Structure 1
Amino acid sequence: MNLANLNIGKKIYLVTGILILIFTASSFWLYGQYRDQLYEGSREQLVAAVDTAWGIIDHYSRSVGEDLSRSEAQMLAKSAIRALRFGNGSYFWINDTTPKIVMHPIKPQLEGKDMSAVKDPNGVYLFKEMVNVTAKDGAGFVEYQWAKPGHDKPVDKLSYVRRHPDWGWIVGAGVYLDDIQSRIAAAFWSVIGVLGFSLLVSAALVWFLARHVSHPLHQTVEMIEEMEKGHLDRRLNMDRKDEMGRMARAMDAFADSLQNEVVASLQRLATGDLTFSIEPRDSQDVVRGALQKLEQDLNRVMLDIQSSGEQIAAGASQVSDSSQSLSQGATESAASLEEISASMNEMSSQTRQNAENADQANRLSDEAQAAAEKGNQQMQEMVSAMGEIADAGQNISKIIKVIDEIAFQTNLLALNAAVEAARAGQHGKGFAVVAEEVRNLAARSARAARETAELIEGSVDLTERGSHIAGQTAEALGKIVDGVTKVSNLVSEIAAASNEQAQGIAQVNQGLAQIDQVTQQNTANAEEGAAASEELSSQAAQLHNMLSRFKLKQHAMTAAPSTIPAAAPPRPPQPAAGNGNWGGGSAAPRGEEMIALNDDEFGRY
């Protein structure tokens, strides 16, 4: 809901309703505070009263052993508390932790009776609850139902109990909640009555104020709406002395002024009568001042229009001739531009194809360069591997020499063993056989080592020869890589130059297209100008006929021409001076965006 769209009556009702809601909420808040204070005051009263009775018990408990015995002190304490009252006659009672009633001033028959099984109608074992509450904190509140003195039906009761630690007595007192609730109910109905009376009075006053304000405003709004529709016959005619009456009289006077002065003058203006006169009330009268200025300006403008009609008719013929000449030159320029544009498009296509071929050759050259570099790298790796194989062959030759020396030493040991076996005679035969086998094995090892050494030496020779050939091949591949790199660079330069040529030709085509567009536009404008000038000539005559219906003031009528003179004879078309453009056409309009073409820029291509 938008408050700005509500009428004044609804706004008054809304504000009043908000104030009533605030007043109602405040009243109920105060009622809640009063209710809470009643309950809190009752609790504080109970605590103070029970603390007083507990102080009496504590006083007599401290007197035990001095002047009194324990039983005497307890008897005096019970007598003092039995007669003690607070509030509206509320009493105190005493029970122990068993729980048994020690003292009860209202029902003495309960004294000495076990109350552990006593419970209220809600099932609350009230005396057990008192014992439990005082066992935790020494004191506390207990809510239950108990019969009031002189009544049989139990009512809600709030009690406060406190335990004395020496004697184990629990002294307590309570208040009946129905008394508090009756006071709260009385306060509630008082609040409701005041609120109801206030609401009725407020509603009556607000209704009277809303009617007194909104009804005149409603009539004024209806009159303004009728005036907006152009209906000026309605009047308010309010006989009041307040602001509403002043507004009504001002609206009626405004409607009279509009109807008798402004609208009457406009009606005369609609019929072509410009002889009316308007006198503003003062310098701030913008409506009558505007009408006066309109009357003066229209008389002056109509006079100027009549004097300008003959100039329009005379110039229309000249514009038509010039437009025909311009149209013919522009048509020839457009045909030439179309031929040049077709040739440039063909050149652009060929240049673009050359650029694409150069790009493809550049890519192939880059691939060849990459392949040559990769082959050169692999050849370098092969040369390195051949060198490692040669080094490994040298190491194997050394190992073979070691094996040959081992075989030689083994042969010597076998000979020594055979000599020793011969010396041993019969006992050394078996040893001699072993020595002979070892000698044969050493001979075979030496022979195999020599053969292996010969093979390795041949392999090393072949490896060195392969390394030499691989080095020559790597050197040749390096030269190939250098040649391919140079070719790739040249192809890249050719591709770049071809792309720049294609871009330059594209810019030339764009410039030619813009020139052709401008030429076509000039041709169309020239044809339209010729047609417009012919139409203008006929409209000038029609304009004079239309202006003749206006009735001007006397000073304007004397200055207005009676007829339009004959148009000047048409001027023969003159050829346009050449300015370096194709077809000798006129320059392009200022609004067109042109590309500056400089022949010096094409030297780099």
Structure 2
Amino acid sequence: MFAFLDDWPLTKKMLAAFSFLGLLLVGLAINGWMSNRDLTSIARKHVEVSVAGMSNMTDVISDIKEMRIIVYSHFNALSDEERAKLQKRLDTASDELDKDLKGFAAVADPSMAGDIARMTAIKGQLDDINRRIFEADLVNKDTGLKLIKSEGKERSHDALDQAQKILDTLRKASEEANARGNASAVTALILTIGLSLISIAALGGVWLVINRTIAQPMARLARVTKTLAEGGTATVPSLGRGDELGEIARAVEQFRLAASERAQIDARAAAEQQMVTNTVRESLVRVAQGDLTADITADFPGTYAELKSNLNEALASLRELIGSVTDSTNRIRTGSTEIAQASEDLARRTEANAAALEQTAAAVTQMDQRLKATATAANSTVQRADQTISVVSSGRSTADEAVQAMTRVAESAKGIDSVIEGLDKIAFQTRVLAMNAAVEAGRAGEAGRGFAVVADLVSALAMRAEEEAGRARDQLTATQADIVTAVGMVEKVDGALSNISSDVGEVHQLLGRIATDNQAQSSAISEISDTIGTMDQSTQQNAAMVEQTSAAARNLTSEVGSLAEQAERFNTGKSSGASSRPAAAPRAKSTARSSGGGYVSPVKPMAVPAASVPAGADDWTSF
């Protein structure tokens, strides 16, 4: 049925199928566009006319009711000011009513022009009756009330009825538009469903044609291609087709023929490869067993000749390398043994240096301690000299105070001498008075005899007072002489104390310089001691490093021995002489030199991991 399509190119087939489907899609699009256009027109008209018109009419009804309320409020107003405000509100409501009517007329259908004209006329009548009611209220309340309940009420009801009539007309028009929209939507839905069913059927037909003319033949060709790829045999279908599948089928047929030829070539190559693989395997087995003389002597095909040459060259290079490794291990073993022995000698010398540094450090420490003791003694002597200077200064101060006191005593003695002289004069005058009294008593006779006795006694007392004053003057003169002598002696003592203070000051300066020199020497000795301590520590570290070097040299000797044993496993075709491992020279036990007592070095060897220490190194001990 579809045989004529076998010669169509795939592009032509796909163009025809997609063109047919495209026409169906265009039909669906046109139907959707027309339906959408009708529904949009109905909806726009409904919004612009019905919804907007109903909104305007609702506002009109609200304005009419507002005007009715304002009229009643004007009737009940209590002041002219309130009536004036209500008049303004009425004018505003009337203007709003005109505005809403004009807005409705702008969006209303032309068929409603008569209703709009009637509504406009009723609005004019309502304005007129409201004006008349306001005027009547100002003249007579009863007349105004009658107009409100009669003609005013009628005009308001007429306006409301007309507005409601227009609203009913708008609702009816909206319902009719809704019905038209529903009918248009149903029609569009039916057309869409029909076109969709046709499109589905067309899609199924296109799929059937593509399956019969493209998919199934391609699947058969794929199965044949897979069979040929797996090495099987099969007949290639669709060789007579004129489209792309026919070209693919003919190309697969060419691949099938080429694969048959390739299989024969691969069989010959596999046989050659098997022979080469077996030969190389045998050679590698011998190499794995340590025989490096396993050169390949069999003839390889031309493509594998280079492999044979490279493998033989590699074996020759390996033989040369193993021989060089063996020679190098022997030399390294000898060198490591010498390094170990030299390290041991260096360790012994380092140990001796450490002992000497230890003794030097001890001697320097003793010197430092003695210098510090000397400096301490000098400081104590300086302190004692300071105390002596203080005592001498105190003695001089005391001598000065004694001289001053003696001077004050001398001055006091002078004052006492003046007093004694005054007493002497008083005694003399008293004796003269007594003599005068005796003369007068003699003149008085018997009456003055008692008075004469008293005058004699007073004269005797005056003479005795003169004698005592003379002795006091003599004693005071001797005391003044002694004071002068004492002052001279005290001044001599002060001079001696001054000389002592000067000499002690010089001693203080000398002791201060000695203490300063001792401190400087102590600081220098301390620095020397620290330096020697640092040198001792460095020597100990060097000893530890020598210990590590010796252990590393012995480990290297062991590892080199193991490497030599591994290298001797290979047969290089050369006679390998008896390369016995040279025994390591026995390590001399390190003995610490001591002078003046046994000295134990504080140097401790660094720990060496047990896995890296050979079994023959058990005699290695720390010095």
Q: What's the TM-score, normalizing by structure 1?
A: 0.36
Which has the greater radius of gyration? 2
The alignment's TM-score, normalised by the length of structure 2, stands at 0.35
Structure with more strand by fraction: 1
